[in-house]
Every structure is written in C-alpha cells, then in structure tokens.
Amino acid sequence: MESKMPKMKTKSSVKKRFKLTASGKVKSGQAGKQHGMIKRTPKQIRNKRGTAVLSPADAKIIKKFMPYG
C-alpha cells in the first residue's frame, strides 16, 4: 500500500469570505459596510452593495489559502 501525503487544508477564514468566479477571479463582499453607515454618503453606501472582484495582487494572496479552488 502506498502512503499518500495528507490533503492540504483550505484556510477556514478564506472559505467563509471569498468565492472563485468561473474564470478564476476572486470575489468578495465589499469592504467598509460593517458599521459607521451614518458617516458614509448615500452614494458610498449605494456603491458598496453586492460583491467586488479583488485586484490581481490581492487575489494572488487569497489563492494561496485555497489550494483546491
């Protein structure tokens, strides 16, 4: 019987916060929407709805924690 290396684990925090798109980009929730909405302009609040695609530099960091995509 051959011994196999153990599976790599996905970082739990990354699993909860990020998703991959079909083309391999990293999608995440908008930053700056957790609290303090009173001091934000209505335009800012509107623009922060939904999700955002991370920049290539940030995506590279996140992908290190997601070995299986």
How confident is the model over 4-17, as pLDDT tens digits?
889 999 999 999 99
Does residue 16 form part of some domain?
Answer: no
- pTM of the prediction? 0.79
Per the structure, the complete domain to which residue 43 belongs is given by 39-69
Does residue 26 form part of some domain?
Answer: no
pLDDT value of residue 2: 79
Does residue 60 form part of some domain?
Answer: yes
Does residue 64 form part of some domain?
Answer: yes
Closest to 65 in 3D by CA, of 16, 11, 7, 13: 11
Domain count, the chain: 1
Does residue 50 form part of some domain?
Answer: yes
Does residue 11 form part of some domain?
Answer: no
Does residue 65 form part of some domain?
Answer: yes
Structural element, H or E, at residue 29: strand 26-29
Over residues 15-66, the pLDDT tens digits come to 999 999 999 999 999 999 999 999 999 999 999 999 999 999 999 999 999 9
Does residue 61 form part of some domain?
Answer: yes
